[in-house]
Amino acid sequence: MTILAAGVDVGSLTTKAVVVDGAGRKVGWSLVESSPHLAETGREALDAALGMAGATLGELSAIVGTGYGRAVLPFATKQVTEITCHAMGAARIFPGTRLVVDVGGQDSKAIRLGNGGDVLDFAMNDKCAAGTGKFLNAMAATLRTGLDGLGPEGLKSRKQLTMSSTCTVFAESEVISLIAQGESVPDIVHAVHRAMAKRLSGLVRLVGAAEPAVFSGGVALNVDLVRLLEEALEVRFSVPDQPQLVGALGAAVLAMGTK
């Protein structure tokens, strides 16, 4: 019988679950939209991941809960913050990782790792929409590109525009001004990405840029933004295949380790 463990990352927008085997390999995973009933959503995500792994709850040796809703998961055997879990997850996928930048829907964080994948320092932005997925959501809505459309649009940019605002509300009105001035959507999107990259690089510099670096969270799929952050920090970022699952993976790995 294989030994299995799981991690559940309950965020305010999405909830992720990962099941790993004894070697720390992913054998099941899921991503669901969070509801206000965090415990239920957590269970839903876990069940889906178990389904993919062809396993049941009883077969799990341990379950680590992380994320915003980690305290309310009745089935979790342990709670660990998303900072530690993201560090663990990134280091598992890319051994030797020294820096993790995670940009989710509601917050962003920069984590510095030591030699052993342990957390040395971290900085978070969870108060201000700018620098998080929310900022991009707002811009995507104003520009009518859809969130997934931002990356490809930005890559098409030919002209460098500057946006000076760091506040989401101000930025929205700046974008509208640029549209009114006849600037193209790709150029505006690229400028939005540049503004966000600047903001994120400020966050990273609080803990110190380092390589190897990993970019996780849903926003990591925005190639244009990642490239701009690389330019701003002079650091190459590795992006995992499933960047939103890094926290849950880290939690699962920790769960496996606690046995």
Partner 1 sequence: MSLRDKVRYRMMKDVGLPAAMGIDRLRKARRVRPRDPLFGPPLESSGALKNLMMRHYGLARYAEGAMPVAWVTSGAPVELLRAFGFYTVYPENHGAVCGARRVAPDICAEAEAAGFSQDLCSYARIDIGHALSGKTPVGKLPRPDLLFCTNNICQTILYWFKDLSHMYGIPLIVLDTPFLYGEPAAATMDYVSGQIRDMVTALERITGKPFDEARLAEVLESSRRGSELWGKVLATMRHRPAPMTIFDAFVHLAPVVSLRGLPVCERYYEGLLAELEDRVERNVAAVPGERHRLMWDNIAIWFALKPMSRFFAENGCVGVAGTYTNAWAETAHHLDLKDPWGSMARAYGLIFLNRDLGYRLDLMARIAAEYAADGLVLHSARSCKPYSVGQYDIRRKLSERLGIRTVVIEADMTDFRAYSEEQAKTRLAAFFESLEGGRDGAAAAAGGGGSGA
Partner 2 sequence: MGRTEYLIAQKEMGRKVAAVWPARYPAELLWAHGICPAEVWDPPLEPERASGHLQPYVCGIVQRGLELLLSGGLRPADILLFPHTCDSLQNLATMVRDLGGEARRCLFFYPPKRDAGERAIAYLMAQLRDLSGELTLHVGPMNAGALEDAMELGSQRTEAMRRLYDLRAEGRLSAGNAAFYAAVRACEFLWPEDAVHSLHTFAKEQEGTPSDEAVPLVFSGVLPQPADFMEKLDGLGVRVVEDDFLGCGRRIVRRTIPAGEDPWRVLAERMQALPPCCTQGASVGDRTNFILELVRRSRARGVVILDVKFCEPELFDAPLIVAGLRESGVPVLILETEMEPRTPAGMLTRMEAFLETLS
Site for partner 2 in 112-151 (CB under 8 A): 118-120, 122, 124, 126-127
Instruction: Tell me if 166 contacts partner 1 by CB under 8 A.
Output: yes
Closer to partner 2 by CB, 79 or 142: give it. Answer: 79
Q: How many residues bind partner 1 (CB under 8 A)?
A: 12
Task: Find the binder of partner 1 among 177, 231, 257, 259 (CB under 8 A).
Answer: 177
Scanning 108-116, 147-155, 201-209, 214-222 for contacts with partner 1 by CB under 8 A, the matching segment is: 201-209
Choose the contact partner of 165 out of partner 2, partner 1, none; CB within 5 to 8 A by kind: partner 1
Task: List the structure tokens of 58.
Answer: 């009883």
Choose the contact partner of 107 out of partner 1, partner 2, none; CB within 5 to 8 A by kind: partner 2
Closer to partner 2 by CB, 20 or 87: give it. Answer: 87
What is the secondary structure of the chain as a DSSP string?
A: ---EEEEEEE-SSEEEEEEEETTS-EEEEEEEE--S-HHHHHHHHHHHHHHHHT--GGGEEEEEEESTTGGG-TT-SEE--HHHHHHHHHHHHSTT--EEEEE-SS-EEEEEE-TTS-EEEEEEE-S-STTSHHHHHHHHHHHT--HHHHHHHHHT--S-------SHHHHHHHHHHHHHTT--HHHHHHHHHHHHHHHHHHHHHHH---SSEEEESGGGG-HHHHHHHHHHHT--EE--SSGGGHHHHHHHHHHHHT-
Task: Find the binder of partner 2 among 8, 49, 76, 80 (CB under 8 A).
Answer: 80
Task: Find the binder of partner 2 among 29, 46, 68, 150 (CB under 8 A).
Answer: 68
Using CB under 8 A as the criterion, what x/- string covers residues 81-110 for binding partner 2? Answer: xxxx----------------------x---
Closer to partner 1 by CB, 45 or 171: give it. Answer: 171
Closer to partner 2 by CB, 7 or 28: give it. Answer: 7
Instruction: Tell me if 13 contacts partner 2 by CB under 8 A.
Output: no
Neighbour count for residue 10 (Cβ, 10 Å)? 27
Residue numbers at the binding site for partner 1 (CB under 8 A): 164-167, 169-170, 173, 177, 198, 202, 205-206
